[in-house]
């Protein structure tokens, strides 16, 4: 097939964003490109491309995410989203493009020995896509020894590679606190049990979990993001719901937050004579990088002459890749998106844009990593024809 215009492809993906588990057009485009390259493809919740060369029995996985966000784009470039209320505000359009570019390059110059799995994952933003692919049997049907993922990082220098061994991304847990009191007339609060006042007390109490009940520097964030009641202008609410988000770097801290949250709710409920229930669900677990695979990433980046940071601070955001790296030793790395204009805007902002300048950098990095991890042996070189 003719060479792929990767920048045009990235813009094409940007124009056609799709939400998690609805990436049908995106999947079809990815499959079409992989099949044109002669790469064996498998379609399920996501897309898997399998490329084998030589006689080696080692296999590695490379992951890119496909889904977009429910955000109305505010950009003015000529490839803005054509889907109202949906945009690629996290760079998944670029992640797919870099991995497809690497697939094309590795087909063209297959100087590696083993199997590369190109994994295009759905629904990363809600933490469900990796689990869906694993539940379908991805790692059973296509066992890999190690797995990797790239995510762009706005405000970091263009092409800078940064990662760290151990925990690199936080977990995300969603909580909901239901307060069931007694509504009443706004002029007679003494005859009811005002859920909004009790809810406000809980909001304040939750702030003490991080500041007074966990070790300083634990890296935990507890945020109340919604406060919903059934009150009206002259009606005190009898029911209130608090919703929020918890980020943690360590599983034990996450579990401690859940315990303390229930303890506070029980105490405040007893003090006011109301029923308070807490639900606490973790969809994104902590992302843990394996030491050997992290070293491989750093070595590959340095071999290309890229600015490299091998022990960066952990990130407070969460990553669905965590479920892959919990099952297989792996490494999640960050690739600098630049510091100027839309490329330097925060992820998930309505004027963010992936930097086209890092597309070839990402492609070259994937190539280098594959050749480092699946080196050609003397025996493999003697094989007349590569196996697809």
pLDDT of residue 382: 38
CA distances 191 to 181, 185, 331, Å, are 11, 9, 58
Token couple for 342 = 């839309």
CA distances 306 to 69, 309, 335, 365, Å, are 30, 10, 10, 9
One domain for residues 270 and 316: no
One domain for residues 253 and 185: yes
Specify the pTM. Answer: 0.92
Domain-ending residue, one of 250, 284, 318: 284
One domain for residues 133 and 217: no
pLDDT of residue 161: 98
Q: pLDDT below 70 — which residues of the chain?
A: 1, 378-388
278 in a structural domain: yes
DSSP conformation letters of 32-85? HHHHHTT-EEEESSSEEEEEEESS---EEEEEEE---BS------STT--SSTT
- DSSP category for residue 137: T
One domain for residues 123 and 177: no
Domain that holds residue 359: 6-168+287-381
- What is the CATH number for 10? 3.40.630.10
Distance from C-alpha of 209 to C-alpha of 212, rounded to nearest angstrom: 6
183 in a structural domain: yes
10 in a structural domain: yes
One domain for residues 35 and 123: yes
- DSSP category for residue 91: S
Helices (H), 109-194: 129-135, 138-141
Distance from C-alpha of 245 to C-alpha of 36, rounded to nearest angstrom: 43
One domain for residues 152 and 216: no
Domain-ending residue, one of 225, 256, 284: 284
One domain for residues 113 and 155: yes
For the segment 37-72, what is each residue's pLDDT rounded down to a tens digit? 999 999 999 999 999 999 999 999 999 999 999 999
121 in a structural domain: yes
- What is the CATH number for 276? 3.30.70.360
16 in a structural domain: yes
One domain for residues 53 and 126: yes
Helices (H), the chain: 6-15, 24-36, 92-108, 129-135, 138-141, 195-212, 251-272, 291-303, 322-327, 359-373, 378-381
Domain-ending residue, one of 263, 284, 305: 284
Strand order in the sheet with 275-284: 221-229, 239-248, 171-180, 275-284
Distance from C-alpha of 362 to C-alpha of 382, rounded to nearest angstrom: 30
How many beta carbons lie within 10 A of that of residue 280, not counting itself?
17
Distance from C-alpha of 84 to C-alpha of 71, rounded to nearest angstrom: 8
316 in a structural domain: yes
386 in a structural domain: no
One domain for residues 254 and 307: no
Which distant-in-sequence residues (6+ apart) come within 8 Å of 200 by Cβ? none
370 in a structural domain: yes
Q: Quickly count helices (H) and strands (E) in the chain.
A: 11, 16
One domain for residues 280 and 294: no
User: Number of C-alpha atoms within 13 angstroms, CB side, residue 192?
Assistant: 21
pLDDT of residue 377: 82
One domain for residues 238 and 158: no
Q: Which residues pair with 288 in a beta bridge?
A: 167
One domain for residues 156 and 179: no
């Amino acid at each position: 097939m003719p060479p792929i215009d990767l920048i045009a492809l990235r813009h094409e993906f940007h124009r056609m964003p799709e939400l998690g588990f609805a990436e049908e057009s995106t999947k079809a485009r990815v499959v079409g490109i992989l099949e044109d390259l002669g790469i064996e493809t498998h379609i399920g919740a996501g897309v898997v491309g399998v490329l084998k060369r030589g006689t080696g029995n080692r296999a590695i996985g490379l992951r890119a995410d496909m889904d977009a966000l429910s955000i109305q784009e505010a950009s003015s470039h000529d490839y803005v989203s054509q889907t109202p209320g949906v945009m690629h505000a996290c760079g998944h359009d670029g992640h797919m493009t870099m991995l497809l570019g690497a697939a094309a390059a590795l087909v063209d110059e297959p100087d590696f020995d083993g199997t590369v799995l190109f994994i295009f994952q759905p629904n990363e933003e809600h933490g469900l896509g990796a689990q869906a692919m694993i539940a379908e049997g991805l790692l059973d049907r296509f066992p890999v020894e190690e797995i990797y993922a790239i995510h762009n990082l706005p405000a970091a220098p263009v092409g800078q590679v940064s990662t760290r061994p151990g925990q690199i991304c936080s977990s995300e847990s969603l909580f909901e606190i239901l307060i069931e009191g007694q509504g009443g007339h706004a002029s007679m609060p003494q005859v009811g049990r005002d859920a909004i006042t009790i809810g406000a007390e809980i909001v304040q109490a939750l702030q003490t979990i991080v500041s007074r009940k966990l070790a300083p520097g634990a890296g935990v964030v507890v945020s109340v993001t919604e406060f919903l009641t059934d009150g009206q202008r002259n009606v005190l609410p009898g029911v209130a719901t608090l919703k929020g988000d918890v980020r943690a770097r360590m599983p034990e801290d996450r579990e401690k937050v859940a315990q303390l949250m229930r303890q506070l709710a029980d105490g405040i409920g007893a003090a006011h004579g109301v029923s308070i229930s807490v639900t606490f669900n973790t969809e994104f677990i902590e992302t843990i990088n394996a030491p050997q695979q992290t070293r491989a990433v750093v070595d590959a980046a340095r071999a290309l002459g890229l600015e490299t940071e091998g022990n960066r601070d952990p990130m407070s955001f969460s990553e669905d890749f965590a479920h892959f790296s919990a099952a297989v030793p792996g490494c999640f790395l960050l690739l600098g998106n630049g510091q100027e204009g839309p490329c330097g805007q925060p992820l998930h902002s309505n004027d963010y844009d992936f930097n086209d300048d890092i597309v070839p950098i990402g492609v070259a990095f994937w190539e280098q990593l594959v050749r480092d991890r699946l080196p050609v042996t003397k025996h493999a070189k003697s094989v007349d024809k590569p196996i697809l």
